[in-house]
Each structure stands twice: as structure tokens, then as C-alpha cells.
Amino acid sequence: MFMFSMFSSLMIYFSGIYVFSSKRKHLLMVLLSLEYIVLSLFMLIIIFLVGFESDYFFPVVFLVFSVCEGALGLSILVSMIRSHGNDFFNSFFLSLC
């Protein structure tokens, strides 16, 4: 059971990395793939802590930081949509010139 859960969380991690590196047209897809990666890392942390029978203080801190990261990403997405009208990276970079 340990190897199956480890393998599944690593597959989730690598699929999130693949989506993050290949789908760079919309900011929302990038944010969703980052949250997917964070979720798989959380699963890996829980698997290791259960295996070593350790305390669960670090996953709570990890969840707090991942929620803060998600809220920051959504606020950037909302401000980008309000200022540019869409979430395309191409239109965002053209306005900086």
C-alpha cells in the first residue's frame, strides 16, 4: 500500500509538472497546475510522516503557506483580468513594453 500511494503521488506530481511546462497560454492553467503540484507534495509529506510515525505539525504549516500562495495567485489573476480583460500571457507582456 505504501508503494502504491507513493507511486500515485509521484505520478500526480510529474503530470502537474508537465502541464505547468506545456500549457503557458492562460494564467489560470498555470495556477491550477501549481495547486496540483502542491497537492501532490502534501500527499507525499503525509505518506512520509505516516511511515515514520511522526507528528503532523509540518503539514499544517505547509497547508497554510499553500493556501496563501493560492490566494495570492487568484488576486493576481483577478487584477490581470480587470486591467487587461483576459488571462492570456501574451497580452500581459505586450503592455509592459
List the domain range (segments joined by +) for residue 81.
Answer: 2-94
CA distances from 58 to 1, 6, 18, 77 (A): 23, 19, 27, 29
d(CA 34, CA 84): 23
Phi-psi region of 81 (alpha: psi -120 to 50; beta: other; left: phi over 0): alpha
Q: What is the pLDDT of residues 26-58, one digit of tens each?
A: 888 889 999 999 999 999 999 999 888 888 899
Q: What is the pLDDT of residues 67-84, one digit of tens each?
A: 999 999 999 889 888 888
Provide the whole-model pTM: 0.83
What CATH number does residue 34 fall under?
A: 1.10.287.3510
Instruction: Provide the number of structural domains found in the chain.
Output: 1
- Single-letter code of the amino acid located at 88: F
Q: Can you read off the three cell numbers belonging to residue 58?
A: 509540518
